[in-house]
Amino acid sequence: MPSKVGLVYSDEYLKHDTGDHPENSKRLEAILSFLKGKNVLKDLTFINPRKADLKEIEYLHSSSYIQGVRELCKRGGGFLDPDTPVSKESFQVALLAAGGVFSAIDRIVDDLDSAFCLIRPPGHHALKKKGMGFCVFNNIALGARYAQNKHRLKKILILDWDVHHGNGTQEAFYRDPSVLYFSLHRYPHYPGTGDIEEIGEGEGRGYTVNVPLPPGCGDGDYIYIFKEILLPIMKDFKPGITLISAGFDAHADDPLGGMSLTSQGYGALTTLVRESSKGIVSCLEGGYNLKALRESVLAHLDSLGEFNLFPKERIDEEPNRGVKEIVKKVKGIHSKYTR
């Protein structure tokens, strides 16, 4: 029987006007149009997002940063950093992006098995006092705090498979054993964080797991990492909910990634996580080749819902030697920690 999968979306997300920036409204339009064309929307439960209120954004971000973004947008827009433009509407859209994650979490707690948040602006680079890397508010980190504050979920797993390390998410929970942050990413690459030795501090030591990868890694490498590191950690940690920073820019055709994942590979990764999770909320992060992005999102949703929309081809799961060495090193570092 197919799982119950929700979809968070609103046309309001298109109003975050970034011009010809790689992170633009065409990304969401391409995904939604593709899902309609494949007749997938009938299998999904639509979730109408709400706006987060400012107190909820303060779960993570400083009031001075929040007000700074608000004022910049009131003046017509500008740049939070050289990579992160905002327009007049961006502040309100960013509140709706974070609130969309909250709405998805509410439904997972109530009646759905998983939900995909087709939202923008993305979030995992956003720091407490700074927006960067196309990100305004850290949607996934705010979602973790919301799940704890509103629904009293004690343990949250955040899986980040975006090709870039989620420095903002790591910063938010670096000393917190209640949120386990797991990231696999190209390294060294923007933003320069995510070294294998970054494992958390204080009570949070061992609850940040970074798997830094060289360029060119593909499906077999990622599947190996999931089976060897992620799934055992999930079994040990027993999260009440799994949140995914679902960037699709590690796809072989992505112009910014330099990795070799396929759309089918994203589906396989999703299946591995689904089989080990109580509930999943995934949030769109990166992905800048529209064809690769829309196909990867379809594969992700197909695996979440067990819809079997297209036949699954066999994936070569043999990792390269370098990845095996990285996995061995990560396991050695984290073997001393019981979570």
| Partners of 156 in beta bridges | 179, 241
* Listed residue (23, 14, 43, 12) closest to 301, CA to CA: 43
Q: What is the pTM of this model?
A: 0.97
State the pLDDT at residue 318. 87
> How far does the chain reach from its first CA to its final CA, in angstroms?
33
How many other β-carbons are positioned within 10 Å of the β-carbon of residue 20?
A: 6
| Partners of 46 in beta bridges | 7
pLDDT in tens, 48-104: 999 999 999 999 999 999 999 999 999 999 999 999 999 999 999 999 999 999 999
Q: SS3 for 47?
A: strand
339 pLDDT more than 90: no
Q: SS3 for 73?
A: helix
Q: Which residue has the tokens 């996580």?
A: 273
pLDDT in tens, 118-137: 999 999 999 999 999 999 99
pLDDT in tens, 189-202: 999 999 999 999 99
- Residue 150 DSSP class: H
State the pLDDT at residue 322. 94
Q: Kindly list the catalytic residues.
A: 125
pLDDT band for position 282 (50/70/90)?
very high
The mean pLDDT value for 205-231 works out to: 97
206 pLDDT more than 80: yes
pLDDT in tens, 134-177: 999 999 999 999 999 999 999 999 999 999 999 999 999 999 99
Which tokens hold the place of 118?
Answer: 């087709």
230 pLDDT more than 70: yes
Helix axes 263-274, 290-305, angle to 10 degrees: 30
Average pLDDT of the chain? Answer: 96
Question: What residues does each domain of the chain span?
Answer: 8-334
Q: Please, which contacts does 261-265 make with residues 24 or more away whose CB atoms are closer than 8 Å?
A: 261/217, 261/218, 261/219, 261/222, 261/296, 262/218, 262/219, 262/315, 263/292, 263/295, 263/296, 263/298, 263/299, 264/219, 264/299, 264/312, 264/313, 264/315, 265/218, 265/219, 265/222, 265/223, 265/315
Q: Which residue has the tokens 């529209």?
A: 290
Q: Which residue has the tokens 């209640």?
A: 178
| Strands 44-47, 179-186: pairing kind | unpaired
Among 3.30.1280.10, 3.40.50.1950, 3.40.800.20, 3.40.30.10, name the CATH number for the domain at 8-334: 3.40.800.20
What are the strands, taking DSSP E only, across 136-240? 156-160, 179-186, 208-213
pLDDT in tens, 234-270: 999 999 999 999 999 999 999 999 999 999 999 999 9
What are the backbone dihedrals phi and psi of residue 218, each rounded to the nearest 5 degrees, phi first? -125, -160
pLDDT band for position 315 (50/70/90)?
confident
